[in-house]
Amino acid sequence: MDLGGQGQDMQMVGDEDVKVCKSTFIVCLKRAKAHVIANTAHRTGSLQCIKEAIHWAFHAEVYQHASALEAYQMCFELFDSHVMTRSSIISRWEAATAFRGAQSLPVDAASCAIRRDNLRRAVELMEQGRGQQWSLASRLRTPLEDLESIVPELARKFLQLSKHLSDAQRAAASTDRAAADRAAIEYRSFLQIYV
């Protein structure tokens, strides 16, 4: 998940620095978690809540905190609520593309669950994310034939992206960790090209 290089500016020197950093992280994590949960009462998925949930997931992963899977689940719920409450195709597309890193959430969430030896949860998260992304894609897409007649290159890219997404989802659902990791890496690099 790319959050614009956050966390890269922190350099730890000794054990005391690491302890201070971890305790600061835990305090920040608790605040972020409480804020996200408190602000999801309306379930409309505000932009700020989604950003904070993504930050929560990212930092929980960095520090291997037990709340990482909960954070990913919250990301899915908020993102889905936010995007689906938009009335027009354009506003849905804008909402869906507002978050750098959100496209790889299913792969990141499944990878997190696999690292915690929770394969069942990995499959559930992957399927939830895949379903969410396919649902969004079907709501955003104009008929491919129409697109092909107007912008053939864009139609070709769409077909490529669909194939890569399908391949990545299939490989990530596999119990072979190496294959799942390769698929996640390939998917992320593909996103860098097209997103």
Lowest-pLDDT choice from 8-22, 43-57, 116-130: 8-22
**pLDDT tens digits, 28-75:** 667 666 766 666 555 455 777 788 888 888 888 888 888 899 989 988
Cβ partners under 8 Å of residue 12, min gap 6? 18, 21
And the tokens for 147?
């697109």
Confidence of residue 9 (pLDDT cuts 50, 70, 90): very low
For the CA atoms of the chain, what is the radius of gyration? 18
- What is the model's pTM? 0.58
Residue type, 18: V
**pLDDT tens digits, 137-171:** 776 655 677 778 888 898 888 887 777 777 766 66
And the tokens for 49?
């809540």
